[in-house]
Chain A
Amino acid sequence: IAGITQAPTSQILAAGRRMTLRCTQDMRHNAMYWYRQDLGLGLRLIHYSNTAGTTGKGEVPDGYSVSRANTDDFPLTLASAVPSQTSVYFCASSEHASERQYFGPGTRLTVL
């Protein structure tokens, strides 16, 4: 089934540990996005990529990094996790920037 997948589904992580959240889409979309969703704050853009090989910073990029080596994959890395990064993380893609986005099922991350 075509779509966008995220892994892991959920994770509990000790503070200070490194963690990579995976995101893969098979729709050959050019643009991909990472958001975090916290209760009462809606979704906030962390990083985005308009095309393979390019990335940009969103609203809340600090503490996160991304790479876009190919069209399909857009991993999000927390170099040294902190409790304030406890959140639900959503990956999304769109055929081109500024078009409808398709969301993955999310990763629930808890940093202790």
Chain B
Amino acid sequence: SQQGEEDPQALSIQEGENATMNCSYKTSINNLQWYRQNSGRGLVHLILIRSNEREKHSGRLRVTLDTSKKSSSLLITASRAADTASYFCATDASGTYKYIFGTGTRLKVLA
């Protein structure tokens, strides 16, 4: 079973718009990570947020974490065509060190 579930499954926006994707998970965690995957390639780490953090920024990325709701969101501001990719959240259930990935959000940014 999947620990993390992203929504929406697919998202299509115009260049310059903001993109928001959400991740829900089931158990308590040590941290939550977001990754990007371009078609057919390996995953690239974007950002890690620890369970005691509520918000984190990296460039045009903003991640929030609500442990009471067991959910996280990834916001990409001022999107570019190069942001077109699949985005995955990954969580490690506390005490296990085993990461569970969600099914991903496919983002398409139209130029």
Contact = CB atoms under 8 A, between A and B. Distances in A.
Contacts, number: 58
Contacts of B101: 35, 42-45
A22 to B, nearest CB: 15
A41 interface: yes
Interface string B37-78: 000111111001000000000000000000000000000000
Given A98-B92, A100-B33, A45 B100 contact: yes
Contacts of B48: 99-100
A104 B41 CA distance: 9
A58 B90 CA distance: 14
A45 B98 contact: yes
Contacts of A50: 97
B88, B99, B100, B102 — which one has the most chain A CB atoms within 10 A of its CB? Answer: B99
A12 to B, nearest CB: 17
A59 B100 contact: yes
Given A98-B31, A100-B48, A106 B41 contact: yes
A40 interface: yes
A105 B98 contact: no
Interface string B80-103: 000000001010100001111111
Contacts of B97: 31, 48, 50, 56, 97-98
19 contacts: A41-B103, A42-B2, A42-B102, A42-B104, A43-B43, A43-B101, A45-B98, A45-B100, A50-B97, A56-B98, A58-B98, A59-B98, A59-B100, A98-B31, A98-B92, A101-B35, A102-B45, A103-B43, A106-B41
Interface of B: 2, 30-31, 33, 35, 40-45, 48, 88, 90, 92, 97-104
